[in-house]
């Protein structure tokens, strides 16, 4: 009996989870005109987020410093945007530099965490240790961000205006369809 009840509860939870979008959009393909959520954007509705749900991306996500994804995008679309061999080599070197800098910062952060954890569990932790740890972790995070951002900006500077427009061409046409 208990096993059946557990299965029933799991099934009910799954039904509620998967039917939320269909209920919100009246069973139709979710679009901003057809969505019953007042003022919900189509992409948020498709993800199950309604206006006022607390889901909001900041403008910070548009800055290419969190990862070397922008540089990888340039290399992935190298043929389509017409990169020269020299540009490919330079962008590749920038990717390696970004990944190396970020990896070094990450490794140093792991060491800091291990040392801090040792002090924490050893009972020899004081306020100055906590402040020093927080400051150092901030510095390492900034170093990782800087490595990725500097490489992304330098890679962008290597592209001419025509290459940049080709790189963003798909994004602009997608934005016009919203």
Looking at residue 125, what is its pLDDT?
Answer: 85
Residue 87 resides in a domain: yes
In this structure, which long-range contacts are made by residues 167-175, counting pairs with CB atoms below 8 Å and at least 24 apart in sequence? 167/73, 167/74, 167/77, 167/81
Rounded-to-integer distance, Cα 24 and Cα 129, Å: 50
Looking at residue 38, what is its pLDDT?
Answer: 46
Q: What percent of the chain has pLDDT over 90?
A: 39
Residue 109 resides in a domain: yes
Looking at residue 166, what is its pLDDT?
Answer: 87
Looking at residue 67, what is its pLDDT?
Answer: 84
Residue 98 resides in a domain: yes
Looking at residue 94, what is its pLDDT?
Answer: 93
Q: Bigger pLDDT: 50 or 104?
A: 104
Number of domains in the chain: 1
> How many CB atoms lie under 10 A from the CB of residue 64?
19
Q: Bigger pLDDT: 88 or 177?
A: 88
Rounded-to-integer distance, Cα 87 and Cα 158, Å: 7
Residue 5 resides in a domain: no
pLDDT in tens, 5-54: 565 566 656 655 555 555 555 544 554 444 444 444 555 555 454 455 55
Residue 119 resides in a domain: yes
- CA distances for 45 relative to 22, 40, 62, 145, 150, angstroms: 10, 6, 21, 31, 35
Residue 84 resides in a domain: yes
How far apart are the two ends of the chain, measured CA to CA in Å? 50
- Kindly provide the b/e burial profile for residues 14-47, where b requires at least 16 CB atoms within 10 angstroms of the residue's own CB: eeeeeeebeebbeeeebeeeebebeebbbebbee
Domain limits at 115? Answer: 63-165
Q: By C-alpha distance, which of 1, 54, 43, 5 is closest to 21?
A: 43
Residue 73 resides in a domain: yes
- Residues in CB range of 91: below 8 A, 6 or more apart: 71, 74, 75, 78, 83, 155, 158
pLDDT in tens, 54-82: 555 566 666 766 788 889 999 999 998 99
**CB 70, CB 147: distance < 8 Å:** no
Read off the tokens for 149: 């951002």
Residue 23 resides in a domain: no
Looking at residue 17, what is its pLDDT?
Answer: 54
Whole-model pTM above 0.85? no
Looking at residue 100, what is its pLDDT?
Answer: 92
Q: What is the mean pLDDT of the chain?
A: 75
């Amino acid at each position: 009996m208990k096993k059946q009840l557990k299965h029933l509860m799991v099934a009910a939870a799954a039904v509620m989870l998967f039917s939320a979008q269909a209920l919100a959009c009246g069973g139709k393909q979710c679009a901003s005109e057809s969505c019953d959520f007042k003022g919900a954007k189509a992409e948020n509705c498709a993800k199950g987020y309604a206006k006022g749900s607390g889901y909001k991306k900041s403008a910070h996500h548009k800055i290419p410093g969190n990862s070397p994804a922008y540089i990888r995008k340039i290399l992935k679309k190298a043929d389509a945007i017409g990169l020269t061999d020299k540009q490919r080599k330079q962008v590749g070197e920038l990717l390696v530099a970004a990944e190396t800098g970020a990896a070094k910062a990450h490794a140093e952060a792991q060491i800091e965490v291990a040392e801090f954890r040792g002090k924490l569990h050893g009972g020899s932790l004081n306020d100055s240790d906590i402040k020093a740890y927080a400051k150092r972790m901030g510095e390492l995070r900034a170093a990782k961000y800087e490595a990725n951002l500097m490489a992304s900006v330098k890679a962008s500077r290597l592209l001419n205006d025509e290459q940049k427009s080709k790189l963003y061409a798909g994004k602009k046409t997608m934005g016009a369809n919203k």
